[in-house]
């Protein structure tokens, strides 16, 4: 984790969220509920009864879904939101097909076309989109060919083909749009948690990654070590050689830290001349080896720094990462005072 940044990404398959399903369910329930009296008043005979029944059933299913979203069933629906979307699209397409089959006239096919286009635009799983639209097209074709004198095929065949093509185009556009949003969000997230000068994580990035690691280590009774490093003489270098030289010193220190520590460790620049490193799962021996390696590499690079170290031992009372950073900071200042007083301390470990 020394050179990578977590990038929470948009789920490209998530056509809907639970929060968006709720108004959709309510809207579909109201629409099909309102169609019940419309069908009864405008259609005759069996067609009126069939269409009113289908519309009422669809409205009831959506109402049940809407109420379920306000109960303890919400997590289960959230885990199967794509199936809910597929169910909604299937019900919409089925209603239009039943309407066409019931009246034996071409005009309801406009609703079939709208349902097909809406399916392509709304659903994300392409396999589901293909299945729903393909079954709808096949069902419509069967209805058209079995409805003498077959007025449906002559008047609406090409339109339904066009609707299917448009649905495919909209689905492709949808996926590309989400991909662009995903890329933009990843870039923004990286900028928010990455230090521009060193490419390491910043304080926000350290906490974002480190807190879950700390929780996991605490549950598993593993030791956690936090190092706090302060580069000496940055202000003097900035004053005497310019800020470009100071930036090179900080960037070089960041590169040393990146090469010294393991990929599982979290290395961050907290700001200015201060860095922090979180070691998870490193025992006393391994932590000591890494600290010695750090001192050696800093000396090779001509970097003078004070390092404070704090260990959160297994079984110790829980401390937040912010608290551990503050304690390591205090340990670092103790090292700096010792060095200014003529001592040779290079790091001061503190056990918690």
State how far the Cα of 227 lies from the Cα of 179, in Å rounded to an integer.
38
Residue 273 annotated among the catalytic residues of the structure: yes
State how far the Cα of 115 lies from the Cα of 129, in Å rounded to an integer.
11
Residue 132 burial (CB count, 10 A):
25
User: Any idea which residue has 């390092």 for tokens?
Assistant: 307
Q: What is the residue-wise DSSP string for 150-178?
A: -HHHHHHHHHHHHHHHHHHHHHHHHHHHH
Residues 6+ apart with CB under 8 A from 166: 117, 120
305 sits in which H/E element: strand 305-312
Among 154, 273, 284, 344, the active-site one is 273
Looking at 194-242, list the stretches that DSSP marks H as alpha helix, in order from N- to C-terminal side.
203-219, 234-241
What the block records as the tokens of 234 is 């940055």
State how far the Cα of 268 lies from the Cα of 292, in Å rounded to an integer.
19
As to burial, measured by CB atoms within 10 angstroms (0-12 exposed, 13-18 middle, 19+ buried), residue 148 is exposed
**How far is Cα of residue 173 from the mean position of the Cα atoms in its chain?**
20
77 sits in which H/E element: helix 74-79
State how far the Cα of 97 lies from the Cα of 166, in Å rounded to an integer.
19
Assess contact for 146 and 133: CB atoms under 8 A: no
Assess contact for 306 and 284: CB atoms under 8 A: no
* Active-site amino acid positions: 273
């Amino acid at each position: 984790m020394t050179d990578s940044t977590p990038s929470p990404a948009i789920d490209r398959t998530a056509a809907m969220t639970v929060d968006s399903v709720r108004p959709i369910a309510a809207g579909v329930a109201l629409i099909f509920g309102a169609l019940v009296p419309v069908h009864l008043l405008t259609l005759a005979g069996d067609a009126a009864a069939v269409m009113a029944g289908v519309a009422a059933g669809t409205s009831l299913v959506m109402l049940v879904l809407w109420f379920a979203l306000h109960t303890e069933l919400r997590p289960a629906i959230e885990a199967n939101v794509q199936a809910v979307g597929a169910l909604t699209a299937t019900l919409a397409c089925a209603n239009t097909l039943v309407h066409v089959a019931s009246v034996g006239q071409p005009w309801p096919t406009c609703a079939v076309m709208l349902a097909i286009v809406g399916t392509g635009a709304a659903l994300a799983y392409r396999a589901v989109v293909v299945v729903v639209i393909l079954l709808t097209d096949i069902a419509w074709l069967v209805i058209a060919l079995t409805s003498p004198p077959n007025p449906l095929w002559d008047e609406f065949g090409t339109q339904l083909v066009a609707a299917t093509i448009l649905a495919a185009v909209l689905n492709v556009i949808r996926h590309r749009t989400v991909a662009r949003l995903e890329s933009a969000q990843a870039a923004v997230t990286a900028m928010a948690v990455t230090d521009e000068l060193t490419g390491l994580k910043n304080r926000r990035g350290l906490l974002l990654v480190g807190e879950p690691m700390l929780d996991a280590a605490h549950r598993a009774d593993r030791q956690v070590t936090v190092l706090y490093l302060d580069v000496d003489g940055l202000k003097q270098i900035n004053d005497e050689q310019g800020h470009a030289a100071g930036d090179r010193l900080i960037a070089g220190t960041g590169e040393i830290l990146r090469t010294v520590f393991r990929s599982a460790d979290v290395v961050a620049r907290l700001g200015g001349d201060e860095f922090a490193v979180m070691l998870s799962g490193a025992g006393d021996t391994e932590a000591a080896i890494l600290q010695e390696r750090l001192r050696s590499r800093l000396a090779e690079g001509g970097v003078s720094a004070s390092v404070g170290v704090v260990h959160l031992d297994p079984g110790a009372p829980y401390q937040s990462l912010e608290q551990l950073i503050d304690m390591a900071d205090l340990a670092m200042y103790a090292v700096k005072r010792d060095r200014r007083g003529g001592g040779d301390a290079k790091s001061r470990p503190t056990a918690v």
